[in-house]
Amino acid sequence: MASTNDLKNGLVLDMDNGLWQVLEFQHVKPGKGPAFVRTKLKNVTSGKIVDKTFNAGTKVETATVDRSDFQYLYNDGTDYIFMDEKTYEQIHVSPEAMGDAAKYLLENGRAMIAQHEGSVLYVELPASVVLEITHTEPGLQGDRSTGGTKPATLETGAEIQVPLFLETGTKVKVDTRDGSYLGRVS
């Protein structure tokens, strides 16, 4: 149990028959009436985001979530296989728990996996990864970095929008949260 005064980003609450991660919180002390805490919560399993308001000092049930660093080994056709870097223990992660992380993860890549009571809740990648473009239309003379964009397929199979001057074989930095192009890597 924790008080709403102890809330912080990333904390996982066990309420309304589900696990909810705190994305944002704000303590509000209005001029009239009691103080309250305004939160934005994300359902860990479904990804649904809701706004919820608590009275200040209210007790909320917290969930124990273990976050550990893992190395991605391979996909066995159905599940993604990860290895704990400390114990060398392997775990299977379902495609549902992987979510969009699968688009930006290469073999031997690192990821943080959150588990609750032995079941995998979600997989979190670093904020950005470096991937190679395996296919894109060739650039034309005069294409500049301030111009438009074109689709490019990455080595993981994901498709992102890149500037017109980039060519196949170029390594690029990609934001894993929204799949946006961050820059070219030499």
49-72 pLDDT per residue, tens: 899 999 988 899 998 888 889 999
CATH match of 128-185 with 3.40.47.10? no
Q: Do domains 66-124 and 128-185 have the same CATH topology?
A: yes
State which CATH number among 2.30.30.30, 1.10.8.100, 1.10.10.10, 3.40.50.12500 fits the domain covering 2-60: 2.30.30.30
Arch. (CATH architecture) of 66-124: Beta Barrel (2.40)
The pTM score is: 0.73
- The answer to whether residue 17 scores a pLDDT higher than 90 is no
Phi then psi dihedrals of residue 166, to 5 deg:
-75, 145
pLDDT in tens, 112-162: 998 888 888 888 888 899 999 999 888 666 656 566 788 999 999 999 998
